[in-house]
Structure 1
C-alpha cells in the first residue's frame, strides 16, 4: 500500500500517532526534495521539518529516498545533511535532455510573437503545447486571445476550482485541447509523455524553474521544442517581486516580542491571527510561518509549532440555557468564564479555553461537535491563526532578531542570484552568442546546455564573469521623489522598506496594490536596484521625522 501525504501533515500530532509499531512503514519517498533547502528555487517552510531525526522518531523510518531534478551543489548538500544520506548513496544524472531543442528570442510584443510561433514551424504542427505564464490573470488573458484566433486552448492556474483544473488536465492528456496556458501550478503530477512543445511567455525565475518546465516536453524521447520569449521588462518586474519577502530587523524584533510576550506562558498554547498580524508588521503570512518554523527547527528549539486553527469561536445556544448546560459540562463552564457576550452569543478564544482545561484545541472542537450534533448549540469559527507552544525563551532577543533577519536576507539574495543567472543565460543567447558551436538563428541548444551544466556544477553565489545586471545603481530624481511622496502621504507610517516597495511597485500586507497602485510613484523606480532605493528612503525618512513632518 502507498500513502500520499503533503509535508504539512507532519504538523498534525493526531496524524503522526496513526503510525508506530502497529502500522510499520518500510520506505519514505520525498519528491521535489529540493524544497527541503532554503537555498532552493522552490523553498517551502513545511519541507524544512522533513529531517531524518523527525522521520525516525515519529515514524520509526530507516529507509529514506529523496528525489529531485533541480538541485544545485549547495541545495544537494542541504538535502543530504537534512536526511542524513551517505555520500555513497547519491545517484546523479545530467540535467540535460538531448531530445529538447532550446530556443530564445527577444520580444517587444509577446502576444504577437506567441501567435507567430504557434502558427509557424515547428509549433504549427504540434498537437500538445504548454505555454507558461507568470501571473494568473495573464494566463486567462493569453488563453482568450488564442481562442479568439481559433487556437484550441484552456487556461490553468491555482485560482481555478479543483474540478475545473482536473477537467483541463483531462482534456489535455486526451489531446482534446491543443494548448494549455498555465502558471507553474501546471505540470506537478502531469502524466503526459507526448508534450511536443513548451513556450515560456515570460522569463522563468530561475534555471531550475526553466529546466522543470521545459522538462514537461519530450518525455517519450521524441524530438521536442522549447522556446523562451525574452524581454528586460519582465526581468525588472520579477526581480522587484523577489524583494516581497524581506523583513527589516525592526519589524522582526517587534514580531519576536509578540511571540515571546510575557502573556504567553511556556508550555501553553499560544496563537496569533495570520491576517491581522501580517498587516501589523507588514510581513507576508508565509514569511511569518517561515520564521516560526526556523524557531522550531533551528540550532535552538524555542517553540513547538502546532496545526493552524481558526481561534475565535462564536457559540449559539438553541435548547437548554447556557448556565444549565454549564452546570453539567465542565468545558462549557470554562467557555462561559472565558467568553464575552456579543449580540446574545458567546465569543471566546479557543486556545484560552484549551489552556484552562489542559486539553488540546482538537479536543475542544471534538466536544463542541458532539453538543452540536445533539442540537444544543451551533458555533462559528473565524481568525485563522498560527499556533505554537513556547519551549524556551531566547536569552538575547535582539541577537536572535538580527540572526533571523540576516538569514532571511541571505535566502532573498539567493533567490535574486538565481533570477540573475536565468537572465544572464537568456541575455547571452540573444546578445552574446557567437554561434560557433552549432547555434543558429534563435536556436541556442548548445550554449544553453553548456550554461546549465556550469550553473549546476559551481558553488552557489559564484558570479558570471560575462554578466552585469542591467539595474541602475542611482537615479537623479530618486531622493526628491521620495521626499514628495512622504510629504503627500504624511498620514501613513512608513518604514524604508515600505517606501522602497511602493517605488518598485511591490504589494505588501500593510500597503496593498489595491490601494497604493493608484499612487503617482507606484513602480516608478523598478529599474533602480532595490537596496539603493531603501537607502534613499532611509535618508529621506530621517530628514522627514527630524523636521517633525
Structure 2
C-alpha cells in the first residue's frame, strides 16, 4: 500500500486515497478484476488512472461520451501521463498519431466508445496490441434497459475474451445490488472484489415541491431566485423533451436570465459551445434533456431542478449527483406533478417491438442468408422491420447471446478514394511484400471522374486479395497522404447458426424478452413515484436503494425531514368528453388506416401501431409514409398509452 500511496503523491499530487480507491487499486494490482460502485464525483476514475501507470501494457477504457473522454484526458495530460482517445471528432492525421503511439507503447491509456469496435480498421489494429486492462465506465449499461441504453455494452465480455485481456475494472455510480451481481457475473468478478462506498451526501438538500403544470414555470423562477437554502450559482434544469428545453430556455432569457437549451437535436458544435460557456461560468443556467450531464465535471453546480419527472430513481440519483461536487451546500428540486408521467411511460411502450415485427426480422435474416452468412445495414433493416434502431440493436445482441448470430466483421459498403499524390511514383514506397498486390489494386479501381472505387470481387479473383488486404494497403497509402479514403454504409456481417435457428421458438423468446423489459421499465417508473411520496427521510432511502446501509436515518435537509411529505396532485389535463374522445378517435384511426394502406400496402395496421401514431411515438414506418402530416399524429400524447390502446382495440375489433 505504501508504494501505491507514493505513486498517488508523485503522479497525482494527492496525499491520501478517498474511500474505496486504495482497496480497488490494490485488488487490480494483485490481478483481481473488480467492480467499483462510488457515488458521482467521488473519484472512480483515479482507480484506473493510477493502476494503468503500474501495468506493463495498454489500458483500454470504454467511455460513453466524447466530452467525458476529453475531460479525463486533459486531467491525465496535466499529470504527465500518456493518454489519448480515438473518436469521431479527430482528423485522419490525429487518429494516425494516436494509433502510432499505442503501437509503439508510448501511450499507456486509450479511450474509445464501445461502438469503435465496429470499425474494421480499429479491430484489425487493436488485435495486434497487448492489453493489460479493460476499463468500462458507466458500466451499468451492461445490465440496464432504457431509452438511452447502449446495447453494444452487452458485447464487452465477448471483446474481453477475443482480445485476451486479463484484467477488468467496471465503474458506475448507480447500481442496485441486483445490477451489481449481474455486472459481476458477466465478467467473472468475485463478490469480494465488489467495492461499494457510502452513497449518502450530506451537502445535498432534496426538496420536492408539489405543483401543477400551469404553475411550473413561475415556481421554477422562484427556485432560481431563492438564496435562502444555497447561494445563487450554476444551475441545471432537467426536462423530458427537446421542445420543452427550447421553450423554457427562451422564456427564461426573455425574463432576463442567463439560460441556454441543450439537447441531442442540436449540432455537436453548438452543444460543445453551450457546454463550454456553462463550464466557464458564461452561462448560468442550462435547460437540458438527459443528453446533458454525463461527463460534466463542474464542481460548483449549486442547483439541479427537475422541471419534469426523471426516468427512474437511477437517473434521478445521477442527475442530482451533479450538484455540489465541491461538497458545498447545494439544492436538488423536483417540481412534482404527474402531468409528464404518461410521456415517460409512452417512451417505454414506443420502444417495444411487436411480435409481427420480430417475425419480420427473423424472416429477413433467413431470406438474406447465403452460405450461413448474413449482411445487413441497420438503417435499412430498421425500415424493413419497423423496429426502432435502439431496440433493433438490442434484439441483434440477444440473438448473439443465444448463439444464433456470430459477428464476423463489419465493413463500409461504399469505399471510394481520390489520389492526392502520384500513384505510380508511390509504387516505390510500398513495402516489397505488398508490391504486386498494390499493382493489382491499381488495375482494379473503377473511376467516376475524380473519385474511384475498388472492385473487391475483381481484385480477389485476380490475386486472391481479401477486402481486408485491399483496405490495409489503401489505408497505408492514405496514411502517407497519397490518397484520400472515404467510406459509408456500415454493413455488419454475421455467421448464422442455421441448426439452432428455430423460427417460432425465437419469435416467442425475443417477444418474451422485450415484454419483460417493458414491464420492468414501467415498474421502475412506478417505484420512483412511490419513492417521491415516502414519509421517511428521502436521502436515507435513496442511499439504501443503492445498498448503502450506513446513511443516517434522518438527514435533516430533505422535504420529509422538514415535515413536508409529498402527495402528488391529480393532473390538471383538460379531459375530453367520452363522446368527443370516441368521435375524434374514430376519425383519426380511419384516416391513418387509409393513408397507410395507400402509402405502404404491406404494412399491417395493428392496435399497437395505431396507438403509437395517436400518442406521437415515432416509428420507422411513420417517416416512410409521412404520418406526421396527418391530424391524428400525437393528438393523444398526454393520455395514458394503455387508455388509448384499449380504446383503439375496442374500436378496431367492434
- Give, in whole Å, the separation in 1 of the partners of 2:485 and 2:166: 44
Q: CA deviation at 1:103?
A: 0.8
* C-alpha distance in structure 2 between counterparts of 1:173 and 1:159, whole Å: 20
Instruction: Say whether 1:145 aligns with 2:251.
Output: yes
Mapping of residues 203-218 of structure 1, within 5 Å? 203-218=309-324
- Alpha-carbon distance in 2 for matches of 1:412, 1:333: 54
Alignment of 1:52-131 (within 5 A): 54-55=159-160, 57-105=161-209, 106-108=211-213, 109-122=215-228, 125-131=231-237
Find the aligned partners of 2:257 and 2:359 in 1 and give their Cα distance.
53
Residues 469, 288 of structure 1: alpha-carbon distance in 2 compared, 3 angstrom cutoff: farther
CA distance in 2, matches of 1:359, 1:478: 65
* CA distance in 2: counterparts of 1:273 and 1:18, whole angstroms: 23
1:498 is matched with 609
| TM-superposition CA deviations, 1:179-232 (whole Å, max 9, x none) | 222222222222221211111121110111110010001111111101011222
Structure 1: distance between partners of 2:451 and 2:212: 60
The answer on whether the counterparts of 1:498 and 1:511 sit within 8 Å (CA) in structure 2 is no
By how many angstroms is 1:35 displaced? Answer: 0.3
Shift in Å, 1:36: 0.5
Q: Are 1:257 and 2:347 counterparts?
A: no
Shift of 1:379: 9.2
The answer to whether the 8 A contact 1:39-1:74 is kept is no
Paired with 1:512 and 1:423, the residues of 2 have a C-alpha distance of: 34
Partner residue in 1 for 2:118 = 11
Question: How many residues in Structure 1 have an aligned counterpart in Structure 2?
Answer: 500
Structure 1 window deviating more from structure 2 (219-228 vs 58-67): it is: 58-67
Contact 1:39 1:411 in 2 (8 A): yes
Contact 1:478 1:536 in 2 (8 A): no
> For 1:211 and 1:178, how far apart are their aligned partners in 2?
22
Paired with 1:349 and 1:536, the residues of 2 have a C-alpha distance of 56
Determine helix, strand or coil for the equivalent of 2:132: coil
Q: Could you say what secondary structure the match of 2:519 adopts?
A: helix
* Residue 50 in structure 1 maps to residue 156 in structure 2: yes
- The reply on whether 1:294 has 2:401 as its aligned counterpart is no
Q: Does 1:2 align with 2:142?
A: no
Q: Counterpart in 2 of 1:240?
A: 346
CA displacement at 1:136 relative to structure 2: 2.8
- Please give the residue correspondences for 1:151-166 in structure 2 after superposition, counting only pairs within 5 Å: 151-166=257-272
TM value normalised by structure 2? 0.66
Distance in 1 (alpha carbons) for counterparts of 2:455 and 2:650: 45
Instruction: Give 2:133's match in structure 1, choosing from 22, 27, 37.
Output: 27
Q: Could you tell me how far apart the structure 2 residues matched to 1:257 and 1:359 are? A: 33
Is this contact kept in 2: 1:103–1:227, CA < 8 A?
A: yes
Q: Which residue of 2 is the match for residue 304 of structure 1?
A: 407
Task: Provide the C-alpha distance between the structure 1 equivalents of 2:480 and 2:133, rounded to a whole number of angstroms.
Answer: 43
Listed as ranges, the gaps of 5+ residues in structure 1 are 321-327, 438-445, 459-465, 544-549
Q: Could you say what secondary structure the match of 1:65 adopts?
A: strand
* Residue 406 (str. 1) matches residue 516 (str. 2): no
Instruction: Give 2:493's aligned residue.
Output: 388
CA RMSD of aligned residues (A): 4.2
How far 1:45 sits from its partner (Å)? 0.8
The DSSP-based 3-state class of the residue aligned with 1:217 is coil
SS in 1 for 2:196: coil
1:262 deviates by 5.1
Q: Which stretch shows the higher mean deviation, 123-132 or 406-415?
A: 123-132
Q: How far does the alpha carbon of each residue in 1:296-335 deviate from its partner, in whole angstroms, 9 at most, with x for none?
A: 2x132423163463x2568999x99xxxxxxx97668878
Cα deviation, residue 401, structure 1: 1.8
C-alpha distance in 2, partners of 1:355/1:203? 57
Deviates more, 1:150-159 or 1:372-381: 372-381
Instruction: Check whether the contact 1:312–1:347 (CA below 8 A) recurs between aligned residues.
Output: no
Q: 1:104 to 1:516 in 2, by over 3 A?
A: farther
Q: Looking at both structures, which has the greater relative contact order when contacts are Cα pairs under 8 Å and sequence separation is at least 6?
A: 1
TM-score, length of structure 1 as denominator length: 0.77
Counterpart of 2:52 in structure 1 is none
Secondary structure class of the residue paired with 1:261: helix
- Secondary structure (helix, strand or coil) at the match of 1:185 reads coil
Sort the Cα spacing of 1:527 and 1:164 in 2 relative to 1 into closer, same or farther, 3 A.
closer
Q: Give the drift of 1:33.
A: 0.7
Structure 1 Cα separation of the partners of residues 464 and 607 of structure 2 = 44
- The 3 A distance-change label for structure 1 pair 19 and 274 is closer
